[in-house]
A and B are shown apart, each in its own frame.
Chain A
Amino acid sequence: MSDLLLPPSLEGVEMVRSVRTPAHLDYSYTPGRAMSRFLTGLAEKKIRGQRCPSCGKVYVPPRGACPTDGVPTEEEVELPHTGTITTFCIVNVSFYGQGMEIPYVSALVLLDDSDIPLMHLVQEVPYDQVRTGMRVEAVWVSDDELKPTLESIKWFRPNGEPDRDASTMRGNA
């Protein structure tokens, strides 16, 4: 670059080596029938899953089909608002656009009567006391704030029941 012939007005000016060009994307999201049932249920304080007619596993959120058997999951199952932490991490990283106060606990919660864990927050307990096997319950937003989103559940908190044996949760942890 040293042999580049610059006009006098640019001599001695620092070269541009990179520019930042932030990109923004807007999405239209089509949840489909199964996910719509799940989301509208959340606005009514209900957690709806679906059972596979072949393997009997209950999926939440339901995806309309069993990923293992490839068959429609039409039987709807209303799930309890309690579950067990199968594993978790304590997040100490904040980054642009996320906005959570750190540290926070991001946990995989296996709802009772379901067969696949949901990822959600665990609060109302010191982060260093969260453990695998801990029994938790959903804490909902106030009734007038309920919306068709998993954010209608603010977080999960310990419900005081004795821990479940983690070794029995194999495959989901």
Chain B
Amino acid sequence: MAGSRKQRAAIVGIGQTKHMSTRGDVSIAGLIREAALRALEDAEMTWADIDAVVIGKAPDFFEGVMMPELFLADALGCAGKPMLRVHTAGSVGGSTSIVAASLVQAGIHERVLTVAFEKQSESEAMWALSMPMPFAPPTHAGAGGYFAPHIRSYMRRSGAPDHIGVLVALKDRLNALKNPYAHLHEEDVTFEKIADSVMLWDPIRYSETCPSSDGACAMVITNEAGASRGSLPPAWIHGAAMRSEPTMFAGRDVVSPRGSRECAADVFSQAGIVARRREIDVVEMYVPFSWYEPMWLESLGFADEGKGWTMVEDGSTQMDGDLPVNPSGGVLSTNPIGASGMLRFAEAAMQVRGQAGEHQIDGARTALGHAYGGGAQFFAMWVVGADKPA
């Protein structure tokens, strides 16, 4: 529609659960309700204020519950309201946030609750991701088995030294100590402990992989009228983009997929960001295997091709560096798969609202939330800011 424009939208409420390997004290419904209630409390709203609910999770195959949104409708106060389920594999938490935001930006709803979750203690993700393929040898070994060869390609192409992956894991685990909601709190973590951990999918070590977590995340997204209601400042959405591409085609760059590069170009263009590294204050990036930090730094345009690893080595991505990445501890410290993308988006918003507590980056005003999924083929990103977009 020529002449029409998106309405401004902002995140005004954020909640997450305490993430653990087993949240045996709650059902899936109890888990998502815990996150949703915290988001409502943060937004100073009640269920009655919510117009619609958008929920996301990774494949139903994980918990073995088909269409869980159906039985979760009442736990999320959806009676009499629209409810929508989103699924884009590991990026789903990000794309769910974007779908929720788009309902506000389009002027369809004023206040939308969005929730994402995974209860890995009740599921078997390794098995669900390693189904025997018909008429093929059983070589496939989970997500690590899929991504390890691509990581090896990155190491070869960039000439990055072997310890870069260890440095990323160490940074994220130390950051997690400042995040009370993070799953892993490894007080005694050291470089040596990570470097000496067992090689699972060479070149990926055990301690360079994400944990299996139970957890949920929720956000309340409103239009401009709702953004000034609460006591905390809102996080304004300056840009949001998604891209997808086929898992396999000849000439596909699996280290820096075209979908990733084009998604980044789109989201930064929407946000009016030109000098990406200088203008972005903090990044919450989807890094389930440590080597993906330098890989995405390049793909997202924060580093030149082949140079992302130098930002890890010189400390640029640490909390006191010029581009802190995953001050929350990231996916490497907390991985309720379906919620992991939304946690990145929510943590980015927490930073620009100044509510990140001990892992707050001082003066953060513009942040990138990032998620990817499938065979690195689904991408979701948003840029949020403390300032109202023009």
User: Which of A113-152 touch B at CB < 8 Å?
Assistant: 115-116, 119-121, 132, 148-151
User: Count of A residues near B, CB < 8 Å?
Assistant: 51
Cβ 8 A contact of A93, one of B141, B246, B249, B254: B141
B202 x A92 contact (CB < 8 A) = yes
User: Binding site of A, secondary structure by majority: helix, strand, loop or mixed?
Assistant: loop
Check: A98 CB closer than 8 A to any chain B CB.
yes
Bound CA–CA A67/B250 (angstroms): 8
With A87-B153, A106-B149, A148-B135: A95-B249 Cβ-Cβ less than 8 Å = no
Does B201 have its Cβ within 8 Å of any Cβ on chain A? yes
Please indicate the chain A residues that have their CB under 8 angstroms from the CB of B126 in the complex: 93, 95
* Whole-angstrom CA separation of A148 from B24 in the bound complex: 46
**A71 proximal to B (CB < 8 A):** no
List B contacts of A111 (CB < 8 A).
none
A172 and B138 form a contact (CB under 8 A): no
Tell me the complex Cα distance, A97–B150, Å.
Answer: 25
Contact B201 A93 (CB under 8 A): yes
Chain A nearest CB: distance from B184 CB in Å? 19
Among B134, B156, B204, the residue within 8 A (CB) of A29 is B134
B134 A98 Cβ-Cβ under 8 A: no
B266 at the interface (CB under 8 A from A): no
A84 CB to closest chain B CB (Å) equals 13
| A121 and B137 alpha carbons, distance in the complex (Å) | 8
Measured between alpha carbons, how far is A108 from B375 in the docked complex, in Å?
A: 15
Q: How far is the CA of A97 from the CA of B254 in the complex (A)?
A: 28
**B139 beta carbon closer than 8 Å to chain A:** yes
Of A89, A148, A150, A151, most B-chain CB atoms within 10 Å = A89
Residue interface bits A31-67, CB-to-B below 8 A is 1, else 0: 1000000010000000000000001011100000011
The residue that B203 contacts in the complex, of A89, A119, A148, A171, with Cβ under 8 A, is: A89
Q: Are B199 and A115 in contact (CB under 8 A)?
A: no
Query: Taking CB as reference atom, which chain A residue is nearest B64?
Result: A23
Chain B: minimal CB distance from A120 (Å): 6
> Quick check: is B288 within 8 A (CB to CB) of the other chain?
no
Given contacts A99-B138, A120-B139, A150-B137, contact A115 B251 (CB under 8 A): yes
Which residues of A line the B interface, CB within 8 A? 17-18, 21, 23, 27, 29, 31, 39, 55, 57-59, 66-68, 86-93, 95-100, 103-104, 106-108, 115-116, 119-121, 132, 148-151, 153, 155, 166, 170-173
Nearest 4 A-B pairs (CB), nearest first?
A89-B148, A90-B202, A115-B250, A57-B250
